[in-house]
Structures are given as C-alpha cells and as structure tokens.
A = this chain, B = another copy of it.
Amino acid sequence: MDLASLPPPSRTFSSDNSAGVHPRVLSALAEANEGHALAYGYDAVTRRADERFADLFGRQVDVYYVWSGTGANVMSLTTLLGPAQAVVCTEGSHINVDETGAPERIAGAKLIDLPTPDGKLRPDQLDALAHAIGVEHHAQPGVVSITQSTELGTLYSPDELGALSERAHALGMLVHLDGARIANATAALGGTAEALRSFTVDAGVDVISFGGTKNGMMYGEAVVYLDRSLARAAKYVRKQVTQLPSKMRYISAQFEALLDDGLWIDNARHANELAGQLYKAVAEIPGIELDGPPAVNSLYPRLPRPAIGALQAWSPFYDWDEANRQVRWMASWDTTSDDVERFAAGVRQALDG
C-alpha cells in the first residue's frame, strides 16, 4: 500500500469545486473589465446573458444571477413558499444536509425529507403526504425540490421528472430543481438544448437553480423562473437573502461565456466522460465495490478503510458515508486522462498493497 513512490494526479478527484476557472471564462472576466457599468445588473452584459438563457430555454424566462448554490436554493424556496408551508425533498438532498439549516432559518420553512435509495423522489411519496394537506397541525407541502443530477450521481429521466411534477402540481405544490450540476445532467441526457428542455420546461419544472461554479466558472449561479409569474417578488427576495451581486457584470459575463457555443455542455460532457474513464480504470481492481458506470461525473466506491486513509493522504477526496466505507470521486471540466491514469494507479497500489 506504499503510495509514496507514485506521483499523484495534478488535479484531484475531490470535487468540481476544487477545479479552477475555464480559460474562456477568465477571458470574459477580463473583457468585462472595461470602464464603468451600472451596478446590480443594470448593464449591457447582463442583458446579453439574459438573452442567452432565453435562447437556451426557447422562451422568455426570468433570470436572477446570484452568488452561490445555497443562495440560489434559498432564494428559490423563499419566493415559492407561503407561511406555514414546507419543502418536500430527499433525505440526502443538498438543501437538507449540506446547507447548515439555511432553508429553515431564511425561508422559515420545514423540510420534509423523504428516504430514497437513489436520490430520486417518486410520485407515490408525494401521495403519502396528502393526508397532511388541509390539516392545521402540519406544515403544508408547498414545494417539491429535486436535484438533477442528484447528490448520488443519478439522473431523473424526463418522464420520471414529468410524472413527479404532475403529481406535485395536482397536490398544489410547485416544483424546484436544484441544478448545481444541471450541465452534467444535460450532457448525459443528450447534450443539447432540447435535452435540457425535456427535463425542465417540458417536464413542468417551475424554477431552477442553474449551476455555474462547478462547471468552470469562478463563482455565480442563476435562478431561472420558467413560470415567470412566480418571480414577482424575486428581485426583492434576492437582495433580502444577501444574494444580489453589486458588480453584476462579472457574473453575467461568465454565464455569457459558458453559454456561448455550448461551452457549458462541453465542460460537463468532459467531466462525465472522465468519470467514465475512471470507472473503467478501477472497476476491476480487487477490493473496490462499485455499483456500475457513472451516470454523470462522480463515483461512490466502497473501499477497505486502510486504503481510504492512505489514498486521501496521497491525493485528497471526501468521505461520503463513513460508516459504510464509502467515498466520493468526482471528475471536473479540467480533469485529464493523465489524472485518471495516475489516480487509478494509486488506487491499484492501495488495494493491492
């Protein structure tokens, strides 16, 4: 298990948040740095980015650029929820376990977190909540928030998402999609604007947290209201939840670059493919347990405990489910085949050793 003699990969498999900024995005930032521009989005770059989003979704949408993924989710939920309403989500969803209670504190809402083996909600899980509707002792289910691709690296098919939305709407709920990795989902489901629309607009999603940071941007996400009537209070809520960037042009410029010429899909497709390469490179190594090839850009292998520690010391990555010896390996827009080979060599060494 001695890894000392092996060179670790130049880029880790710890997170797509560990990756840098894509050169075209960095160039866009430099280009945006010309003279003065009115703050808070009243500038020409922001107008152009808005148009990119309209083109992408094939319709007018209301876009609000924000700082972070947690910010995008909290803003979305705050605009969608009334008092005494609750958010329905999975037990393992980012809003439930990785946002330090931000939705509860800021949106003031209960999260009804439901168990799921694969990170995906089912329509019948919504039906099971129907008994609470109309009963004053229970927070009223107001929004279903799903993640695509999910926190477990799985995907809703457009049909699955459509069925879930339909049930949600039938029960009086709205549908929010946490799309921190919506690009990876889009790439996996066809890699076109049509693919994106198939599981968003066409599937009945109301509002999207549209991720940028994990896909080659420096910072910035977008809250996209597909149902524009839901955006009435959005501009005030964005400021109230501390998510209004003052020098807005620098976020819009990044999104403009990302949406230009399909860069956002190229980045995500690359990350997905490299995760697939990593899967192939390690799947047969004795001692590793894997559930099959990745749907998007992450693997969740189970490993012997000593190997985990040794590998993390050599090239960092995160525990996923410590009790079950499960870790997460994640490819990024900038992962190279060389990184995959080096990392796989380390895994082999750690498990064979």
**Residues of A229-251 whose CB lies within 8 A of B:** 233, 235-247, 250
CB distance from A204 to the nearest CB of B (A): 24
CB distance from A239 to the nearest CB of B (A): 4
CB distance from A8 to the nearest CB of B (A): 11
**Given A68-B244, A322-B131, does the pair A110, B111 have CB atoms closer than 8 Å?**
yes
- Residue A157 CB within 8 A of the other chain: no
- Residue A350 CB within 8 A of the other chain: no
* Cα of A252 to Cα of B106 in the assembled complex, Å: 27
Contact B105 A17 (CB under 8 A): no
Residues of chain B with a CB closer than 8 A to A109's CB: 101, 104-105
Contact A70 B242 (CB under 8 A): yes
Contact A67 B245 (CB under 8 A): yes
- Residue A78 CB within 8 A of the other chain: yes
* Cα of A35 to Cα of B9 in the assembled complex, Å: 11
- Residue A37 CB within 8 A of the other chain: yes
* Cα of A138 to Cα of B240 in the assembled complex, Å: 9
* Cα of A137 to Cα of B69 in the assembled complex, Å: 13
Contact A101 B20 (CB under 8 A): no
* Cα of A337 to Cα of B101 in the assembled complex, Å: 49
Residues of chain B with a CB closer than 8 A to A83's CB: 78-79, 105, 233, 236-237, 240
* Cα of A37 to Cα of B332 in the assembled complex, Å: 12
By beta carbon, the residue of chain B nearest A75 is B242
- Residue A4 CB within 8 A of the other chain: no
CB distance from A50 to the nearest CB of B (A): 16
Of A25-33, A148-156, A184-192, A284-292, the segment with at least 4 beta carbons within 8 Å of chain B is A25-33
By beta carbon, the residue of chain B nearest A18 is B36
**Residues of A103-139 whose CB lies within 8 A of B:** 104-106, 108-111, 113, 128, 131, 136-139
Of A92-100, A158-166, A265-273, the segment with at least 4 beta carbons within 8 Å of chain B is A92-100
CB distance from A333 to the nearest CB of B (A): 12
- Interface residues of A, count at CB 8 A: 78
Specify which of A99, A238, A246, A323 lies most central, judged by the most chain B CB atoms within 10 Å of its CB. A246
- Residue A213 CB within 8 A of the other chain: yes
- Residue A34 CB within 8 A of the other chain: yes
Contact A68 B111 (CB under 8 A): no
- Residue A12 CB within 8 A of the other chain: yes
- Residue A316 CB within 8 A of the other chain: yes
What 0/1 readout, one digit per residue, does chain A (59-75) give for beta carbons within 8 Å of chain B? 00000000111110010
- Residue A313 CB within 8 A of the other chain: no
Residues of chain B with a CB closer than 8 A to A131's CB: 322
- Residue A218 CB within 8 A of the other chain: yes
Choice from B67, B70, B137 contacting A68 with Cβ under 8 Å = B67
- Residue A349 CB within 8 A of the other chain: no
- Residue A140 CB within 8 A of the other chain: yes
- Residue A19 CB within 8 A of the other chain: yes
Contact B323 A233 (CB under 8 A): no
**Given A83-B233, A136-B235, does the pair A20, B40 have CB atoms closer than 8 Å?**
no
Contact B101 A110 (CB under 8 A): yes
- Residue numbers of A with Cβ under 8 A of B are 10-12, 14-15, 17-21, 26, 29-30, 33-40, 67-71, 74, 78-79, 82-86, 97-102, 104-106, 108-111, 113, 128, 131, 136-140, 213-214, 218-219, 233, 235-247, 250, 316, 322-323, 332
